[in-house]
Each structure stands twice: as structure tokens, then as C-alpha cells.
Amino acid sequence: MTLKLYKLSALSLGAIALSISPVTLAQETASPTNPYPPQAIQAWMSVCVRDDSPEAQVFCQCTIDKIQNRYTIEQFIQLGQNIQSGQKPPEEFNQIVQSCVPQEQ
């Protein structure tokens, strides 16, 4: 489950970076440190959550919440483009993702 969720989040980031338009960027509202447009969050969740399991929902919501608190939308898009082109995600991104992985008991 851990590896599957991590791979999905990295793939999600790449897919979302390609789907966010400049018009979407102008529609931000307040909340997290770097609030993303609803379309970006919906795109993340739809790509990240591959099944209806509560674990996947919680994981994906956790990652997007923490990503918004660390990266601006522009940084997030650039990160996604870098991953799409084959670059590895930065360690900070990996730590965000890992912090959201449910702990096995």
C-alpha cells in the first residue's frame, strides 16, 4: 500500500501539472499557506484516489493539504513538469508524501 500510494502521488503531480491552465491560477482563494484553485485540488484527488478506500482518500487529502502549505501553485506545476520529464522529486516532496502514508499496525 505504501509504495502504491507514493507512486500514485508522483504520477498525480505530473498529470495535474499538465492540466492546470493560467486561467485556473487566477482563481485562487484564501485558506492554506498557498491555496490552490479548486480545479487543481479536484484534479489531484481524482488522479490520486484510484479506489474508493478511506485510506486512499485520507492519504490524498493529506498530501495535497501539506503540498499547498509548502509549494506555491507555480512551484507545484514546475515540480510536476520536472517529474513528467523524468526527474526525481525533491527530498522535501518525498518527506511530505511519506508523512501522509498510513502507519501499519
pLDDT in the model for residue 99: 95
Residue 41 within any structural domain of the chain: yes
pLDDT in the model for residue 22: 44
pLDDT in the model for residue 58: 93
Return the closest-CA partner of residue 61 out of 50, 74, 45: 45
Residue 72 within any structural domain of the chain: yes
> How far apart, in Å, are the Cα atoms of 81 and each of 33, 52, 99, 105?
22, 27, 23, 35
Predicted model pTM: 0.69
Domain assignment of residue 85, given as a range:
2-17+37-100
Residue 54 within any structural domain of the chain: yes
Residue 47 within any structural domain of the chain: yes
Residue 81 within any structural domain of the chain: yes
pLDDT in the model for residue 10: 58
Count: domains in the chain: 1
Residue 26 within any structural domain of the chain: no
Return the closest-CA partner of residue 56 out of 95, 93, 8, 99: 8
pLDDT in tens, 63-85: 999 999 999 999 999 999 999 99
Residue 89 within any structural domain of the chain: yes
Residue 27 within any structural domain of the chain: no
Return the closest-CA partner of residue 62 out of 46, 76, 45: 45
pLDDT in tens, 12-52: 655 555 455 444 444 444 468 899 999 999 999 999 988 78
